[in-house]
Amino acid sequence: MKNYQSMDHFWMPFTANRAFKESPRIIERAEGMWLFNDEGRQILDATAGLWCVNAGHGRKQIADAVAAQIQTLDYTSPFNLGHDIGFEFAERLVKHSPQGLDRVFFSCSGSEAVESALKIALAYQNARGKGGKYRFIGREKGYHGVNFGGISVGGLTPNRKGFGPLLPVDHLPHTLDVERNAFSKGLPEFGIERAEALENLLQFHGSDSIAAVIVEPVSGAGGVVLPPVGYLKKLREICTRHDVLLIFDEVICGWGRLGDSFGANRFDVQPDMITSAKGITNGVLPLGAVFVRNEIYDTVLNAAPEGQVEFFHGYTYSAHPVACAAGLAALDIYESEGLLERGAGEIGQYWEEALHSLKGLPGIVDVRNFGLIGAVQFAAADGSLVGPTIMKRCYELGMSIRAVGDIIALSPPLIIEKSHIDQIVDIFTQISKEMFR
């Protein structure tokens, strides 16, 4: 292990600093399903980086496309100029989004995609003379990035604490109910009753004050919270009835994670906007996008008086040509290797069976899965927090995972094979025996 005293000068993202300093985990190289650390050890990447490396690491096709793009057109302003690769990428992307969500607004990250979607929602309400609709509704345990709009609509209390006042937002109750639903396969059954909370919120505030509802189809960072049967459809129905926009944040759910290009397709629900990032470039370069319903786009665009800017919003690196090249190459791989559907097929089935085989092991109180996302939830008899210790032990045993409290979140690259899944199950089995006997 190298001496990383210089880490004092390197601000790790999020709050990882302290834990990381105690046991630094330095990754030198990555390929396929595997990370290789500075001790030459091979670590199974069971979270596809940070839910993003969906086609696996080290894809040469993407590297080549990026190198070629830098040499052809490295950058140009997205404000007054355009480039073919941006248009080509947008055209290819919308073949995957639900019909009618054919307009793409590019950002550079998931957080920025969320901010963009929230601003587009407000611009749309204003453009059609409904400026009184300025409030948002999010969901408990929802995660929508770290910018001010995102933490406002996000429903993870620690992320919001100390940053107020935030945007005017209410939160729907989350849909995790381990007591009622532990180890059930498929989606929980109590969808309609949970969605009705939206009706109550809209009535409380008056729906003429609500611009949009934003939810992740499956909440990832909140601990892999699945939508109960009929829940998302019911949200759609209520939003439509009350003239409120519905935004799906698919930064994690998109690009094959749930067994289709988007959760919207898999659940057969059409939101008004979808936010995307992460897997959109296979995590290789930062890029985000908002897929916008055409009528929203047209309304915002047409609202400006002749010669004026219709919606001042955009980033220096919106539709960065090199990121677009990475994204196009990633899309080629997803399509040609059939990765987007894998989670809904045989390997998704194997994933479900394998995770559910952990049922009954000491310390494990729930497993849940959908497509190629999953969670193993632990609980210590004395109620102490065990997630961080489990994460450390997983790494020692050759697997990288993400702990959300005592929930171990799993989102492997979509190229995963049965042998990798077996390895994941073996490691959890060993940890259960070691820690909870």
List of residues contacting ligand PMP (CB under 6 A): 109-111, 114, 143-145, 216, 220-221, 249, 251-252, 277
Question: What are the tokens at 26?
Answer: 């330095």
- State the nearest-atom distance from the C-beta of 13 to ligand PMP, in Å: 9
End-to-end C-alpha distance for the chain, whole angstroms: 33
CB of 287 closer than 8 Å to CB of 327: yes
Query: Which is closer to ligand PMP, CB of 117 or CB of 390?
Result: 117
Burial class (CB in 10 A: 0-12, 13-18, 19+), 1: exposed
- State the nearest-atom distance from the C-beta of 288 to ligand PMP, in Å: 6
Query: Which is closer to ligand PMP, CB of 414 or CB of 431?
Result: 414
Sign of CA dihedral 147, 148, 151, 152: negative
Query: Which is closer to ligand PMP, CB of 155 or CB of 348?
Result: 155
- State the nearest-atom distance from the C-beta of 216 to ligand PMP, in Å: 5
Query: Which is closer to ligand PMP, CB of 318 or CB of 432?
Result: 318
- State the nearest-atom distance from the C-beta of 395 to ligand PMP, in Å: 20
- State the nearest-atom distance from the C-beta of 409 to ligand PMP, in Å: 10
- Cα–Cα dist 158/428, whole Å: 28
Query: Which is closer to ligand PMP, CB of 222 or CB of 363?
Result: 222
Query: Which is closer to ligand PMP, CB of 111 or CB of 318?
Result: 111
- State the nearest-atom distance from the C-beta of 250 to ligand PMP, in Å: 7
- Cα–Cα dist 144/156, whole Å: 10
* 424-430: long-range pairs with CB below 8 Å, 24+: 424/44, 424/46, 424/354, 424/399, 425/354, 425/355, 425/357, 425/358, 427/394, 427/397, 427/398, 427/399, 428/358, 428/361, 428/364, 428/376, 429/358, 429/361, 430/397
